[in-house]
Amino acid sequence: MSKILMVYFSQGGTTAHIAELIAIGLRSSGHKVELCNLKDGPPQSLEGYDLLGIGTPAYYFRPSFNITDYINSLPHLDGLPAFVFVLYGTYLGETGNDIRRALSLKGAKEIGYFKSLGADFYQAYLKEGYLFSAIHPTTNELTQAREFGINIDRIIGGEKYIRPEFDPQPSIMYRLERFFINDWLVTEVYSRLFSINRKKCTTCHLCMSECPAENIAANKAGYPVWERHCLFCLSCEMNCPQEAITSIISWPIFHPVIRYNVTHALQDTELDYVKVKHIKGITIRE
């Protein structure tokens, strides 16, 4: 039986749940599966593993930056079998395509690709009053995740893998958004533009404990300071119980873009949503 490493990033727990279900499917056939959430740090090496799985939520129509960095850090994989799984709240964009291409360039042999909707807890949409894909992953999607793991076992055993086509490119508007929220701009520009309202901030440090990249530290006065390995997940802004944190996404200049995304998603009959109020770090479904 194979020794399998699954490396993923999960912030709120949904991607981790999907990873565990895939692992259950694989373990049902006797494979040894180890799970590694990059939120807790990367694995030491790939030595001794027969198969690699990579999973991520879609962030701005691409993989999370830490997943991309992890893949780029890998040595040449010399035909190591690999599979990919992704979660997305509205539109997948190039998320799955990016990982599949990156693994191929590293010399991996693709043997599986799984994607599922997941509730879109994105600060900008919540502030507009909407939680998209609120009921996802559904029971059926969770079952499919487990079956995906079982199917990977069949492919390991010799069943032919029919490689799915790449996902279609998003519209020009989403491609522009993806372009303007890239790793370099986030690191060198946007991460410097988080602001803190000192009249509201109680220095509770929740933003620091919630940051999945450990990107926020306290200054001498106890107020948060953003460093330079931000994922731009906006967890700090979204969870602040005093609404003391703002990012560039809250600037008026970006509001037309957010409204475009929300309006487009609302008109998409394939997406579900619920109305919400997001107040002082808490999302309340109406």
Which domains occur in the chain, in start order? Answer: 3-122+132-156 (3.40.50.360), 172-285 (3.30.70.20)
Mean pLDDT rounded to a whole number for the chain: 96
pLDDT in tens, 86-110: 999 999 999 999 999 999 999 999 9
Q: Which of 217, 213, 252, 256 is nearest to 235 (CA)?
A: 213
pLDDT in tens, 164-207: 999 999 999 999 999 999 999 999 999 999 999 999 999 999 99
pLDDT > 90? residue 1? no
Instruction: State the residue for tokens 């199917």.
Output: 151
Four-point Cα dihedral 96, 97, 100, 101, nearest 10 = -150
pLDDT > 90? residue 157? yes
Q: What are phi and psi of 150, to 5 degrees?
A: -65, -40
Residues 6+ apart with CB under 8 A from 194: 224, 226, 236, 237, 245, 246, 247
pLDDT in tens, 132-145: 999 999 999 999 99
DSSP per-residue string spanning 14-56: HHHHHHHHHHHHHHTTT-EEEEEEGGG---S--TT-SEEEEEE
pLDDT in tens, 204-252: 999 999 999 999 999 999 999 999 999 999 999 999 999 999 999 999 9
pTM: 0.95
CA atoms in the 13 A half-sphere facing the CB of 252? 0
pLDDT > 90? residue 156? yes
In degrees, rounded to 5, the angle at the alpha carbon of residue 236 between the alpha carbons of residues 233 and 242 is: 145
Give me the pLDDT at residue 183, please. Answer: 94
Coil/strand/helix, residue 73: helix
Q: Which of 208, 210, 236, 240 is nearest to 222 (CA)?
A: 208
Coil/strand/helix, residue 10: coil
User: Which residues, listed in sequence order, are joined to residue 52 by a DSSP beta bridge?
Assistant: 5, 82
